[in-house]
Amino acid sequence: MASEIVELSPSQRDAQMLAFALSERGQVDESMVAELRSIPVYRSPEADARRLAAIPGFDVTERLPEIAAPALLIYAEDDPAARPEVGQKIADMIPGRGWR
C-alpha cells in the first residue's frame, strides 16, 4: 500500500484523502470538501508512504486495559474512518466501560 501512494499523482492522493476523511454524503457537500481542502498538508508522496507504512506497526490495543479515566468514544455510521463496530471493540477492551 505504501508504494502505491508514492506512485499516485497529487490529485489522486487528494481524492484518496477525501474518500478516507469524508463519507459519500460529505464528498458531495461542496462546503465540506472546500473546508477539508483548506487544511494545508504539505507532505511528499514518500512522506505519505512512510506514514502509512508505520500505522500497522503502531498497535497499542494491549494497553487499552490501562485506561482508568472516563473515556468518550465517538463513532458515526457514515464515517469511513471510524465505524461504530471499531468503537465497540475498543470500548470492550477498556475495563468497566460498556458500549452506550
* Distance from chain centroid for Cα 74: 13
Nearest to 93 by CA among 78, 75, 71, 77: 71
Query: Residue 5: is its pLDDT beyond 70?
Result: no
Per residue in 18-51, pLDDT (tens digit) is 887 888 888 899 998 888 888 766 677 788 778 7
- Locate cell 473546508: which residue? 35
What's the pLDDT at 31?
Answer: 92
Query: Residue 8: is its pLDDT beyond 60?
Result: yes
Residue bearing the bigger pLDDT, 80 or 87: 87
pTM of model > 0.75: no
